[in-house]
Each structure stands twice: as structure tokens, then as C-alpha cells.
Amino acid sequence: KAGVTQTPRYLIKTRGQQVTLSCSPISGHRSVSWYQQTPGQGLQFLFEYFSETQRNKGNFPGRFSGRQFSNSRSEMNVSTLELGDSALYLCASSLTPKGSNYGYTFGSGTRLTVV
Amino acid sequence: DAKTTQPPSMDCAEGRAANLPCNHSTISGNEYVYWYRQIHSQGPQYIIHGLKNNETNEMASLIITEDRKSSTLILPHATLRDTAVYYCIVRDTGTASKLTFGTGTRLQVTL
């Protein structure tokens, strides 16, 4: 079966702009989580959505937001981009918010560069 | 979620067993031990998880000490494709809906 699909794969944006990243979970998975990975902070949890509702949120400023659609696809948005937002953004899907017995399945990520 | 401590790096010769340790001395009774790995520029990949008993699947074995304060991930016959960062995570699957990653162990498999 198809894995977690994230688009675009690479993105370059200018400071002050906003960006939208997309994630399509594995078919049948209803929970989508987002993570940010930087060399300095490592992998950090952003938020999780289940049944179109945000169920959990990490410690990120309000510039970071997300949503989930009825087909479980999710988008995350970052407004007023800063240089420090340059990172690999990873999406993970699971059957339920608790990750099921087999944890989460991650996509390959979107590499965002802010210049 | 309990914190974990892992060595920052390890080397292993191809074909030999790779034994990756993890300390989780503050683990609580409801927390499982999960292992993920991340190959360069890819998303983390689930390997194995366990609560108390040792576990084995097609990828690896997980040995958890009787007091559950530490565990070891064993890759029985490491290959070059096993070169990656390995993360040990403890998580209460009943309540936590996120993974808290530490810094992991960078495993380098060499010829």
C-alpha cells in the first residue's frame, strides 16, 4: 500500500512569506502528526490531528498552524517565515491518535529553506 | 514521557551484530519502549517496541531488563544499509499521542 506522501519535497521561501505543506496519510489512517527537525533542536512535535480536530500541540508559536480535511489529508501552514524555520518538516500517520501497536509511519518530509 | 539516554555514536562491522543500548531509568509501568531509526534525509522508520518481554521481528530484537530501566536493540547481522540514527523512545500508549525524540545513536556500519 502507498506510504505517507508529503508535498512538495523541497521548498525555498523568503523571510516574511508564508508556506503551506501537505501530507496525505496512509489509506485508512485517520491521525496525522507533524514534526520539525533541525540540526540544533532535533525532532520536535508540532501538532496532531484526528478526525479534523487538533488533539495535541507542541511548544511552537502561533505562526505554525495546521488543519485536517475529511479525507484525513492534512496541511500545515507557517506564516511570516523566519530564517530559523528552515527545517525538515515530517508528517506521520497512524490509525488512531495513540499510534496503534506499530507506532507511526513517517513520510520523507518537506525540506524548507528560508532565505 | 520518561527520558532516555543513548550513546551518541557507535560503529559496527558489516555482518556482525549491532547492540544499541538505551537507559530509561524513570520509565513508568504503562510506558512502552519504542525504537525508530532515521536514515539520512528520510523520515524515521518504526523498528520494534516492547513493554516487559523481549521482542523479535524481521528487523531486530529488543531486550528489556527485568527492572525495565534499560534496553538493548539488536540488529543480528548489520549491513551498510543499517547505517542510521537510532532513537529509543518511551511512551505511554494509553495517554500520549506524540513521540518525544532524544538525540539518538548514530550507528555507522563499515566494511
Q: What percent of chain A has pLDDT over 90?
A: 85
Residue A9 has pLDDT above 90, yes or no: yes
Binned at pLDDT 50, 70 and 90, residue B87 comes out as very high
Q: Whole-angstrom Cα distance, residue B111 to residue B109?
A: 7
Q: Whole-angstrom Cα distance, residue B72 to residue A111?
A: 32
Peptide bond between residue A61 and the one before it cis (omega within 30 degrees of 0): no
Considering only CB atoms, B43 lies closest to which of A56, A103, A106, namely A106
pLDDT in tens, A47-94: 999 999 999 899 999 999 999 999 999 999 999 999 999 999 999 998
Segment B57-61 shows an average pLDDT of 95
The least confident of A3-7, B20-24, B38-42, B69-73 is: B38-42
Mapped onto helix, strand or coil, the DSSP state of residue A8 is: coil
Q: Round the average pLDDT of chain B to a whole number and report it.
A: 92
Q: Do you know the residue count of chain B?
A: 111
Residue B95 has pLDDT above 90, yes or no: no
Interior/surface letters B20-29, b for 16+ CB within 10 angstroms, e for the rest? bebbbeebee
Asked if A22 contacts A63 with a C-beta cutoff of 8 angstroms, the reply is no
pLDDT at B41: 80
Q: Is B68 left (phi over 0), alpha (psi -120 to 50) or beta?
A: left
**Which residues of chain A neighbour B99 with C-beta distances below 8 Å?**
33, 35, 43, 45, 92, 99, 103-104
Whether A98 sits inside 8 A of B43 (CB atoms) is no
